[in-house]
Structure 1
């Protein structure tokens, strides 16, 4: 199992009642998260990125069928960690990762949210980092991600890097507040592309596209794009 799958099992074990989500009645493959009749495990690619990823996930996010953070763990299983977010009681393994001397942690979030006077540095490129980048992705709805960004004191000391997407989000698996709000997998892909890691970015984008197409097959009003 990759890091997302382990976290998903951990979160399910914590539940006191069944999690109800849109499409939750569909029987899904535990490997890829798609409906079993559209399983794509045999098509799952893998790559070795030039950075590591840390998925910091909001509460029930690992249990949602539409979550795309899982796609990052699918494609980069040896380079992705996943943890549930907590404001006051972060996972000890998360703190150990953030303090690992082999990495330079970077919070991935719009730098426009860094308030004037804050000590947080903002980056345009990871070339200035002295160690391997560890991209911290805040995985949740837009309002949840903002909450995580503001209320995670153990992240405040790390620099912030933004993505500059050239196209609108292709997500469509659940409703976003704005078209320019990217899903987690899209953010990771844009970031890799911006930093010149084109092979890893392309592999992740291909898996995202396949996942999206097969996920949408189950939506009754979905029309296949020409």
Structure 2
């Protein structure tokens, strides 16, 4: 990690959550020290591979209490790449005023990303069509599925916002936590689909590739397997970075 790099929103939320903890948070299975920049063991650090892709869209992460502390959290990857990413902790009885201010900011058109089957049909949208002069802001509930459903029900400040219901054709490729259903996507996969709907295909592809590389490093570190920087996942991320530099010329 570059010590001069400014921590992003999820990193700051993690630091604030740790400061409130009565005891140190020890990730399950952790025995070795992790890099603070990517949360992977130092031997498998991927900070040097962190992509940066300009986007019109922004992301607002509303995170379940312990989620920022988990090294497998993929909201962190979104904040790594999308400059306009905000992160807020969720509580049933208290709402961060900064979150309310962001949702009311006239530069943004917020969309709560959640399955449409859980809301009235008139709130559901399946396309991203921001009003003139507004940028799309994807509000993601970063939690387990059971926790996200509770957060959605008990956050009345979201009730006036349109609900973007995704129709993903692919099953989740996320391998760092167990899920009983393959159609339950991780937060980073959801964000990539949102970017695609916002016509930001290169950003969507880069975030997907970055998730693959992160998963590769994380699991290899866990199993004490060296990283192959020339495998398909790394080459794809590298090629997308080359494409981005070409577009900027």
Q: RMSD of aligned C-alpha atoms? A: 2.0
TM-score by length of 2: 0.83
Aligned length: 221
Contact 1:61 1:67 in 2 (8 A): yes
The answer on 1:218 being equivalent to 2:224 is no
Contact 1:24 1:65 in 2 (8 A): no
Question: Residue 177 of structure 1: CA displacement?
Answer: 2.8
Aligned partner of 1:74 in structure 2 is 80
Give the stretch that moved more between structures: 161-170 or 38-47: 161-170
Structure 1: stretches of 5+ with no match in the other structure: none
Aligned partner of 1:96 in structure 2 is 101
Aligned partner of 2:112 in structure 1 is 107
Structure (1 or 2) with the larger CA radius of gyration: 2
Contact 1:164 1:190 in 2 (8 A): no
The answer on 1:27 being equivalent to 2:33 is yes
Q: Residue deviations 1:24-72, cap 9 Å, x none?
A: 3331111111111100111111011221100100000000011000000
The answer on 1:47 being equivalent to 2:50 is no
The answer on 1:181 being equivalent to 2:184 is yes
Name the one with the larger helix percent: 2
TM-score by length of 1: 0.91
Question: Residue 128 of structure 1: CA displacement?
Answer: 4.7
CA distance in 2, matches of 1:37, 1:90: 39
Contact 2:67 2:73 in 1 (8 A): yes
State the secondary structure of the residue aligned to 1:218.
helix
The answer on 1:87 being equivalent to 2:85 is no
Question: Residue 115 of structure 1: CA displacement?
Answer: 4.2
Equivalent residue runs for 1:195-206 within 5 Å: 195-206=198-209
CA distance in 2, matches of 1:194, 1:93: 26
Aligned partner of 1:152 in structure 2 is 155
CA distance in 1, matches of 2:201, 2:109: 21
Structure 2: stretches of 5+ with no match in the other structure: 1-6, 233-249
Aligned partner of 1:15 in structure 2 is 21
Instruction: Decide which of 104, 110, 129 is 2:131's aligned counterpart.
Output: 129
Instruction: Decide which of 175, 191, 195 is 1:192's aligned counterpart.
Output: 195
CA distance in 1, matches of 2:39, 2:27: 13
Contact 1:169 1:181 in 2 (8 A): yes
CA distance in 2, matches of 1:108, 1:155: 11
